[in-house]
Amino acid sequence: MTDKKTFSELGLSAKTLEAINKKGFEEPTPIQAMTIPVMLRDDTNIIAQAQTGTGKTAAFGLPLIEMAKTDSRTVQALVLVPTRELAIQVSEEINSLKGDKDIRIVPIYGGQSIDQQLRRLKKGVHIVVGSPGRVIDHLNRKTLKLDKIEYLILDEADEMLNMGFIEDMEEIMKHTNPKKRTLLFSATIPGKIKALARKYMDGYELLTAKKEQLTTNLTEQIYFEIKASDKFEALCRIIDIEDDFYGLVFCRTKSDVNSVASHLIDRGYDAEAIHGDISQAHRERTLERFRKQRVRILVATDVAARGIDVNNLTHVINYSLPQDPESYVHRIGRTGRAGNEGTAITFITPSEYKRLLFIQRFAKTDIKRSKVPKIKDIIRAKKKKIYDDLTEILENEVDTQYYNWAENLLKDNPPAEMLAAVLNYCFEEELNPDSYGEINEAGSNGRQIVLQGKTRLFVALGRKDKINPRKLVELIMGRISIKSKEIRDIRIMDNFSFITVPFDKAEKIIASFKERGKRPLISHAKKN
């Protein structure tokens, strides 16, 4: 196994490294580490064997961004993909990596208005990401010229062959600059791919990321298919239904780690975050607290989690689907150490299902679909835990002062009513079903804007006002009598924010922030 490289060792510029850092990626995947330096050399064609979900878009996208000439508006690179969905995905991914560099990336695919595509192409484009049929349509209309392109990327080439695009691919290649560099990415390298390379590529370098032997023992593996906006609510439910949750929550980027950890802390959970920007001293203190279970939830990136040697984790949560099967297996293997069994839970959005199947197939494992725990089941589990705790206290010697206190309380009150009042006093917040938001299973008719017993409020303050979830909660608590746990699902944007609160508190909040003659600072969120 080769030593892991960093992005800074691959020959990328400071500006590109800054864009990568802002996106939150900490280290390159194997195919990125192999492809980027060869592309930047700019002296050979490439065939790269890379599976879906291994970060291949960034493998070719970052060098394309690096080498694009912004003073020209001619098409410099064509990325050919088999489907419209992939065209959109690849275009968005490259756009997210370009930072402040003035590069225009346009997806063209069937099903989208061709007039819209024509307008964008006329303005001048650096990188076109297209499906074969629509690219040929533009070539026939002479609205897309490829005679000056410097790079042709064939993404998921074997899929294009399987879908019968071989003739389309060859037709498109005839219109391209003969001096271009060609990069062919494929999960497999069948004979037809090699024949295509011999015909249209004047020599090439073959890059193959070696795969490790993967095993997934002693771990129950399940997945939830939910909307991205429901992930945090699902995470809270998983933590709350467990008797003694002690686990790692994996996110893909540093910014996601900070966000998830911050939201957990705001809701009162013992959670901390580790990622590449945290100092070594801080990391060691955090890990020590986690090993001693003073912190029971650790939110981390894959890189930061290396070296965590904990044998008794109950859960590993893949809050974000990992980039490749190796990362998946390394993550979930942490629950199966020293003979301990554990549960690995993976959140996926509907569009990520294909990637999950790939991970499952490659890792030779079975990841079963499951449903997010229902609110009533969480309340039932909490009541059982309270009952078990109370029974354990009874089995041990109870301090005399509590017996004396109990006798005084029961002098003038019926025992059942007094016990009910004590339970209500102690567990009102913990057993309140309204503290959970609704989650719609994937495929249902969309997320409800107004949750049962709750309403959504708009707040005219955002990041530019130096507002974060904790400051917003404190601001509201300073105006009206409300518990922090009643302010849920906080979303902080640049110029505004959203919160969800109980109906009976909403009007009080709005009224407390009203100022005569001024636009209301807090108001009901508009329904779509």
| 281 and 388 co-located in one domain | no
**CA nearest neighbour of 25 among 340, 256, 290, 325:** 256
pLDDT at 340: 61
| Tens of pLDDT, residues 352-369 | 888 888 888 877 788 899
More confident residue, 414 or 439: 414
Place of tokens 């906006």: 229
CA distance 211 to 330: 13
Q: Are residues 225 and 114 in the same domain?
A: no
Do 240 and 285 sit in the same domain of this protein? yes
Task: Mark whether 150 and 254 lie in a shared domain.
Answer: no
Q: Is the pLDDT of residue 64 over 90?
A: yes
445 assigned to some structural domain: no
Tell me the pLDDT band of 162, cut-offs 50, 70 and 90. Answer: confident
Assigned domain for 389 exists: yes
CB neighbour list of residue 115: distance below 8 Å, 6 or more residues apart: none
What pLDDT score was predicted for residue 9? 92
Domain co-membership, 146 together with 249 = no
Question: 429, 433, 438, 439: which is closest to 485 by C-alpha?
Answer: 429
Confidence of residue 2 (pLDDT cuts 50, 70, 90): very low
Please report the beta strands in 110-218, taking only residues with DSSP state E, as ranges in sequence order: 127-130, 151-154, 181-186, 205-208
- Of the listed ranges 167-176, 327-336, 396-405, the one predicted with least confidence: 327-336
Please compute the mean of the pLDDT values over residues 25-49 and round it to a whole number: 90
Residue 526: its pLDDT value, please? 63
17 and 132 in a common domain: yes
* pLDDT at res. 53: 61
Give 462's contacts (C-beta < 8 A, 6+ positions apart). 492, 493, 494, 495, 496, 497
More reliable by pLDDT, 515 or 142: 142
Taking the C-alpha atoms of residue 91 and residue 87, their distance in angstroms, rounded to an integer, is 6
Whether residue 485 is found in the same domain as residue 515:
yes
> pLDDT: is 416 or 163 the higher one?
416
End-of-domain residue from the set 355, 373, 391:
373
pLDDT at 113: 84
Q: Which of 151, 185, 208 is the last residue of a domain?
A: 208
Q: What is the pLDDT of residues 249-277, one digit of tens each?
A: 999 888 899 999 999 988 888 999 988 77
Helix (H) or strand (E) holding 501: strand 497-502
Q: Which helix (H) or strand (E) holds 30?
A: helix 30-41
Q: What is the mean pLDDT of residues 333-350?
A: 77
- Between helix 56-67 and helix 14-23 the angle, nearest 10°, is 140
Q: Are residues 189 and 264 in the same domain?
A: no
Percent of the chain with pLDDT over 90: 34
State both tokens at 364.
């030779």
What is the residue whose two structure tokens read 């819209």?
116
Rounded CA-CA distance 483/480 in Å is: 9
Give the count of domains, the chain.
4
Is there a contact between 56 and 155 (Cβ–Cβ < 8 Å)?
A: yes
Q: What is the average pLDDT across 164-186?
A: 91
Structure confidence at residue 187 as a pLDDT band (50, 70, 90): confident
Round to whole Å and give the CA distance between 14 and 37.
Answer: 15
H-run or E-run covering 348: strand 342-348
Mean pLDDT over residues 288-302, rounded?
89
The mean predicted confidence, pLDDT, of the chain is 85
Residue 515 inside a domain? The answer is yes
Amino acid at 328: Y
Contact 48, 184 (CB under 8 A): yes
Quick one: pLDDT band at residue 139, thresholds 50, 70, 90? Answer: very high
Tell me, yes or no, whether 199 and 223 share the same domain.
Answer: no
Distance CA 97, CA 102 (A): 12
What per-residue confidence (pLDDT) applies to 216? 52
413 and 475 together in one domain: no
Residue 258, in any domain of the structure: yes
Domain membership of residue 214 (yes or no) is no
Q: Could you please report the per-residue DSSP string of 225-278?
A: E--GGGHHHHHHHHHHHSSS--EEEE-SSHHHHHHHHHHHHHTT--EEEE-TTS
| Average pLDDT of the segment spanning 160-165 | 82
Q: Residue 192 has what pLDDT? A: 83
Residue 126: exposed, middle, or buried by beta-carbon count in 10 A (0-12, 13-18, 19+)? buried
pLDDT of residue 36: 95
Residue 456 host element (H or E): strand 454-459
Give me the pLDDT at residue 451, please. 38
Cα gap 129→149, rounded to integer Å: 13
Q: What percent of the chain has pLDDT over 70?
A: 91
Contact criterion met (CB below 8 Å) for 216 and 332: yes
Residue 448 pLDDT level (bands cut at 50, 70, 90):
very low
Q: Answer yes or no: do 56 and 174 share one domain.
A: yes
- For 72: left if phi > 0, alpha if psi spans -120 to 50, otherwise beta; the answer is beta
The reply to whether 180 falls in a domain is yes
HSE, side-chain direction, 13 A CA sphere, residue 144 = 31
C-beta of residue 308 within 8 angstroms of C-beta of residue 334: yes
Which structural domain range is residue 100 located in?
7-208
State phi, psi for 279 to the nearest 5 degrees: -65, 160
Q: What does the alpha-carbon distance between residue 142 and residue 285 come to, in Å, rounded to a whole number?
A: 62
User: Does the predicted model carry a pTM greater than 0.85?
Assistant: no
Q: Is residue 440 included in any domain, yes or no?
A: no
Q: What is the pLDDT of residues 457-514, one digit of tens each?
A: 889 998 888 998 889 999 999 899 888 888 888 888 888 888 988 877 888 898 888 8
Q: E-assigned strands of 115-257?
A: 127-130, 151-154, 181-186, 205-208, 219-225, 247-250
Work out the burial of residue 314: count CB atoms within 10 Å of its CB; fewer than 13 is exposed, 13-18 middle, 19 or more buried.
middle
The CATH number for 42's domain is 3.40.50.300
Is 35 a residue whose pLDDT tops 80?
yes
413 plus 464 within the same structural domain: no
- Please give the pLDDT value at position 328: 84
Neighbour tally for 78: CB within 10 Å: 24
pLDDT for residue 452 is more than 70: no
pLDDT at 178 over 80: yes
